[in-house]
Amino acid sequence: MHGFLQYIQSYLDSDKTPGGAGNIFWATVYILLVFAGLSVAVIAMNWLERKILAHMQVRLGPMRVGPHGLLQPIADAIKLLLKEDIIPAEADALVFWIAPFIVVLAAFTVFVVVPFGPTHAITDMNIGILFMLGVSSLSVLGIVTAGWASNSHYPLIGALRSSAQMVSYEVAMGLAVVSVILMTSLGPEGGTLSMIGIVQAQQAQGEWFIFKFFPLGLVGFFIFAIAMVAETNRAPFDLPEAESELTAGFHTEYSGFRWSLFFLAEYSAMIAVSSIAVTLWLGGWLRPFPNALTGPTWDLVFSLFPGITFLLLAVMCFYNTARMPKHPLFRVQTMGLAGFGVVLALIGLILFIPAVRVRVTDIYWFAAKVGAFMYLYIWYRGTFPRYRFDQLMKVGWKVLLPTGLVLLILTALVGMRTELWAELQGVWRP
């Protein structure tokens, strides 16, 4: 027993990730935490997407289940679980059954290497980014199997579109990623593929890679930002599930729980690719201006942000509680909203405790950057019409791919020049 406790405690002193330290117990705890956190994030995204989209579209969105529809995602989840589980008679039952699991598996496995902080990752692989790209592209397999196994025209076309789309955008995505890896090699520690290493390289080089070699980093970021929307099949690249053309694309024949797995996978894939973008270009867990605004005062100021955010959310809740209709029918909802506000305020206050504050600030900045991407996803959906299939391919192969290639070569050239310059300076001006 004592040995076990020591085993648990031994990790707390190390400055590695649980996987890196080889501590199975903490790795399991982290896996559970990430899984729970991701599920909560998907639920929150569901509600936020409906609300934000609704407000963009001059309507209210869910308002009935819970105050301001806060319980709507839960009601939806229960509804989906209670629905009849249909496997079409003509479908290939086994493959039909497996397909959603492949998609969900791929979408969740990538979070093994996502670094929420210098030690806040399940594990740190030396091939982290390759692992992420590889595993996340496995989901296309699930989509193709889903479309094929349904044995129906619309899902089949949806699956074909989806596979073509994912494969072609992965190339451009990969090129953008490689340009970042070239940038990491400029630092004192040399190039790395590790997700944590990439963020540390940005810290060492003193700038986020989005600003590196301006505008090369920016261009790479844009290529990735476009490709990642296509990769996750979201608007304006949501052809595989274009509801006005293919009813629901590859998951037309799915219902109930299986359908909700696809839904879950889509949202966690969105979070996954956003976290790649954040890690590679936006400095991962690093707070804004880590080098310009240094010193204990600035550290303190930036570490107050998480608490302040939650307190602001709580204030919003209280404000809306005050605006609730004063009718007895709304008493429960009003109390519920006030209660939610109190919970948020408590979380905010807990986040002010110095011990918590220090540990949470990395995760907060990471989550905030990912959240910005999530908002972008919703914004796109509210604004853009959908691309046609051939146009989508054109954008992928004729615009993004050549740009990516040129970007890669330029990055290499500029990087070489920088290194040469450094060496020359060493020689001539000792």
Partner 1 sequence: MTDPNTLSPLDLETPDKTFLDANELVINMGPQHPATHGVLRVILRLDGEKVMGLECVIGYLHRGVEKIAENRTYTMFNPYVDRMDYVAAVSNGLGYCEAVEKLLNVEAPPRAQYIRVILTELNRIASHQLWLGTHALDIGAITPLFYTFRDREEILKIFEKYCGARLTTHAFRIGGLQYEAYEGFEKDVKNFVNFVKPKIDEYEELLTTNRIWLERTKGVGKISGKDCIALGVTGPVLRASGVKWDLRKAQPYANYKNFEFEIPTGENGDTYDRYIVRMIEMRQSLRIIEQAVEGIPEGPIMAKVPKVMKPPVGEIYHSIEAPKGELGYFIVSDGSTQPYRIRVRPPSFVNLQALDLMCRGQLVADVIAVIGTLDIVLGEVDR
Contact window for partner 1 (CB under 8 A) among 153-161, 166-174, 185-193, 356-364: 153-161
Counting contacts by CB under 8 A, is residue 387 touching partner 1? yes
Q: Is residue 90 close enough to count as binding partner 1 by CB under 8 A?
A: no
Q: Does 323 bind partner 1 (CB under 8 A)?
A: no
In what helix (H) or strand (E) does residue 55 lie, and over which residues does it extend?
Answer: helix 24-56
Torsion of CA 121, 126, 127, 129, to 10 degrees: 40
How far are the Cα atoms of 22, 51, 125, 325, 367 from residue 63, in angstroms, in the given order?
47, 9, 44, 13, 27
Interface stretch with partner 1, choices 38-46, 151-159, 288-296, 329-337 (CB under 8 A): 151-159
Q: What's the min distance (Å) between Cβ of 87 and partner 1?
A: 21
Vertex 283, ends 198 and 421: CA angle to 5°? 65
Q: Which is nearer to partner 1, 28 or 383 (CB)?
A: 383
Q: Is 188 in the site for partner 1 (CB under 8 A)?
A: no
Q: How far is the CB of 218 from partner 1 (least distance, A)?
A: 20
Separation of alpha carbons 283 and 372, rounded Å: 14
Choice between 56 and 368, CB closer to partner 1: 56
Nearer to partner 1, 57 or 126 (CB): 57
Q: E strand or H helix at 371, and its extent?
A: helix 354-383
**Max CA separation in the chain (angstroms):** 83
Angle at which helix 72-82 crosses helix 24-56, to 10 degrees, equals 110
Residue 86 binds partner 1, judged by CB under 8 A: no
Number of other CB atoms surrounding residue 221 within 10 Å: 23
* End-to-end CA, the chain: 60
The alpha carbons of the chain give a radius of gyration, in whole angstroms, of 23
The count of C-alpha atoms lying within 13 angstroms of the C-alpha of 177, restricted to the half-sphere facing its C-beta, is 25
Length of the chain: 430
338, burial (CB in 10 Å: exposed 0-12, middle 13-18, buried 19+): middle
What is the pattern of x (binds partner 1, CB under 8 A) and - over residues 29-68?
A: ------------------------x--xxxx---------
207 or 245: whose CB is closer to partner 1?
245
User: Exposure of 354 by Cβ count < 10 A (0-12 exposed, 13-18 middle, 19+ buried)?
Assistant: exposed
**For residues 80, 84, 87 and 93, what is the CA-based torsion angle, rounded to 10 degrees?**
80
Measured from the CB atom, the residue of 217 and 396 that comes closer to partner 1 is 396
User: Looking at 17-25, 86-94, 137-145, 237-245, which segment touches partner 1 (CB under 8 A)?
Assistant: 237-245
Contacting partner 1 (CB under 8 A), which of 144, 201, 242, 370? 242
Task: Give yes or no for residue 398 binding partner 1 (CB under 8 A).
Answer: no
- 79 binds partner 1, rule: CB under 8 A: no
What is the rounded distance in angstroms from the CA atom of residue 400 to the CA atom of residue 138?
22
Nearer to partner 1, 235 or 374 (CB): 235
335, 384, 418, 419: which one contacts partner 1 (CB under 8 A)? Answer: 384
Shortest distance, position 392 Cβ to partner 1, whole Å: 10
Task: Name which of 195 and 400 has its Cβ closer to partner 1.
Answer: 400
Which stretch in 220-228, 231-239, 258-266, 350-358 sits in contact with partner 1 by CB under 8 A?
A: 231-239
For residue 363, report the phi and psi dihedrals to the nearest 5 degrees.
-60, -40
Residue 381 in the binding site for partner 1 (CB under 8 A): yes
Check residue 389 for interaction with partner 1 (CB under 8 A): yes
Q: Which of 244, 327, 328, 429 binds partner 1 (CB under 8 A)?
A: 244
Q: Which residue type is seen at 411? A: T
Does 236 interact with partner 1 (rule: CB under 8 A)? yes
Nearer to partner 1, 226 or 337 (CB): 226
Structure-derived torsion over alpha carbons of residues 202, 205, 211, 217, reported in degrees to the nearest 10: -70
Residue number, 45 or 286, with CB nearest to partner 1: 45
Q: Is 243 in the site for partner 1 (CB under 8 A)?
A: yes
Tokens of 96: 């039909």
Which of the 8 DSSP states describes residue 192?
A: -
**CB of 400 closer than 8 Å to CB of 172:** yes
Using the minimum distance from each CB to partner 1, give the nearer residue, 230 or 311. Answer: 230
| Contact footprint for partner 1 (CB under 8 A) | 53, 56-59, 153-154, 157, 235-236, 238-239, 242-245, 247, 381-391
